[in-house]
Copies of this chain bind each other. A is one copy, B any other.
């Protein structure tokens, strides 16, 4: 049945269009990517468009979250790790939490697996998800969303977390087709679950590829098209994090962030220069310059092909 395949709806748009269409003031926005493929460019466009009152859901609240906080976009953070990787602190985040000055930040704290389970519950439309953490921890005492359920099989209690269903999830990936079939390799993190848990999903990719590229390896598709609402091509959009096989991590920038973010004026100047001062991510990339990118270049280590087979 050669013509029975669906017509691929084209969901490609610019970052500006995608953020304008799917990120709204007061909304809950999940940005995922565990060290790898962090959707930084999307965060910058949210800042450029001046969104306000967002709830950000992100396991590892790192530089992009600090930037969104400093730009005044965020009133609530849901996270399991608030640090600049192993490279230091997030200045703005610490100011917002540690001091009584400035706009207060509502903070909802979980463990990593607690966050994972919230996405799992959200993706599976479950009222809760059980996990073996939290017994004896002080965290449930400051986070009333962490509760317990008694097993109906033995006299045993287990902690549970509620689902999270973001208004929109934004993830970065190596490649997708125009319809949104998204392929990720290297660390795949929690991206698929975050997308399935969301009402809308925006996938930002290093490159939009021909259907045939995706279809040569359907097991590589981590997110199927029907879960995706917008596909944005944005090369190097994960900087300063990395995209396996595309460019390496900018460790120097991570290290520099502690100093930049420690000083509010310097942080605002950084935003003015690199985010408000660039029209879009292409300008940001150009501003960094070719010599900069050459340092993050990676060599080739190709996967060996597998045979999917063809009926003879």
Residues of A that sit less than 8 Å from B by CB:
125-132, 147-154, 156, 158, 160, 162, 174, 183, 185-186, 188, 213, 216-217, 219-220, 244-246, 248, 297-312
Closest partner residue, chain B, to A188 (CB atom)? B219
Does B308 lie within 8 Å of A305, measured CB to CB?
no
* Measured CA separation A261–B98 after assembly (Å): 73
CB distance from A234 to the nearest CB of B (A): 19
25 A-B contact pairs sorted by A residue (CB < 8 Å): A125-B132, A126-B130, A127-B151, A127-B153, A127-B154, A127-B156, A128-B130, A149-B150, A153-B162, A183-B306, A185-B308, A186-B308, A213-B304, A217-B306, A220-B306, A246-B307, A246-B309, A298-B310, A298-B312, A299-B310, A299-B312, A301-B308, A303-B305, A303-B307, A303-B308
- From B128, B149, B160, B304, give the contact of A305 (CB < 8 A): B304
* Measured CA separation A311–B251 after assembly (Å): 13
Within 8 Å CB of A301, what residues of B? 216, 307-310
Does B153 lie within 8 Å of A245, measured CB to CB?
no
Within 8 Å CB of A306, what residues of B? 174, 183, 185, 217, 220, 245, 302-303
Does A303 lie within 8 Å of B149, measured CB to CB?
no
Within 8 Å CB of A244, what residues of B? 308-309
Within 8 Å CB of A154, what residues of B? 127
Among A132, A149, A158, A299, the most chain B Cβ lie within 10 Å of the Cβ of: A149
- From B126, B132, B185, give the contact of A158 (CB < 8 A): B126
Within 8 Å CB of A297, what residues of B? 312
Within 8 Å CB of A186, what residues of B? 219, 308
Within 8 Å CB of A217, what residues of B? 303-304, 306
Among A183, A297, A312, the most chain B Cβ lie within 10 Å of the Cβ of: A312
* Measured CA separation A220–B153 after assembly (Å): 36
Within 8 Å CB of A310, what residues of B? 298-301
Contacts A132-B126, A152-B149 given; does A309 touch B298 at CB 8 Å: yes
- From B148, B302, B312, give the contact of A152 (CB < 8 A): B148
* Measured CA separation A297–B311 after assembly (Å): 8
* Measured CA separation A132–B152 after assembly (Å): 17
Does A309 lie within 8 Å of B300, measured CB to CB?
yes
Closest partner residue, chain B, to A152 (CB atom)? B147
Contacts A128-B153, A132-B126 given; does A300 touch B307 at CB 8 Å: yes
